[in-house]
Amino acid sequence: MDNSNTEETFWTQRYLDNQTGWDIGEPSAPLKAYIDQLENKDLKILIPGAGHAYEAEYLFNKGFKNVYVLDISKEPLDALKKRIPEFPVNQTIQGDFFTHNNTYDLIIEQTFFCSFPPTKSNRQQYAAKMHELLNTNGKLVGLWFSMPLTGDMEKRPFGGSKQEYLGYFEPFFSIITLEDCYNSIAPRQGNELFGIFMKK
């Protein structure tokens, strides 16, 4: 995916126009529950396509200081810096996920996968890049929309099915779980899968 300038312009405009329907204003309940049972505060964590990064804020306030947020748009990263001035500047990264270079113990997925055009190529690249960015035994944990694709390549969020997702992830990951999410927020009830994948 090499259209990062176009994507940056698109997402920045969405923030400027306050067209941020994915933004729930707080950490997602399923991810909050997952974070609450994490014990190793030294984990190096990435949240790609982080937006306003409420999960990063929650992690940081719980003592996880090795948290990195990545977004193609500067707008939400600036908002995070205003909310948490002590959040390290070098851990807020404006850039393209697909060209990002680093490695992490844990990557958290929250409305990122569903944001780019749902071509088979894009989704295969996503799975491969996640694998590349994780350390040995690293985990990809998060939420994926479980709803049919409509064929409209403009109307986000883009969904998919459990079987489709497994097809992308199984070559790279051991599937610990990918099941219907029981504690989604009301507007997303019945439309989310919670997944934990460990790097092969």
For residue 73, the model assigns a pLDDT of 87
Asked whether the predicted pLDDT for residue 9 surpasses 70, the reply is no
Which percentage of the chain shows pLDDT scores above 90?
66
What does the pLDDT look like over 146-155, one tens digit per residue? 988 877 777 7
Rounded mean pLDDT, 148-165 = 85
For residue 189, the model assigns a pLDDT of 78
| Alpha carbons 175 and 170: distance in angstroms, whole number | 7
What does the pLDDT look like over 179-193, one tens digit per residue? 999 777 666 777 899
Query: DSSP alpha helices (H): ranges in 84-178?
Result: 120-133, 162-169
Task: Name which of 99, 177, 101 is nearest 142 in CA terms.
Answer: 177
**What is the band of 25 on the pLDDT scale with cuts at 50, 70, 90?**
low
3-state SS, residue 129: helix
- 196 forms beta bridges with 141, 177
For residue 192, the model assigns a pLDDT of 92
Its pTM stands at 0.86
* CA dihedral sign, ordered 190, 196, 199, 200: negative
Q: Are 42 and 66 in contact (CB under 8 A)?
A: yes
**What is the band of 15 on the pLDDT scale with cuts at 50, 70, 90?**
very low
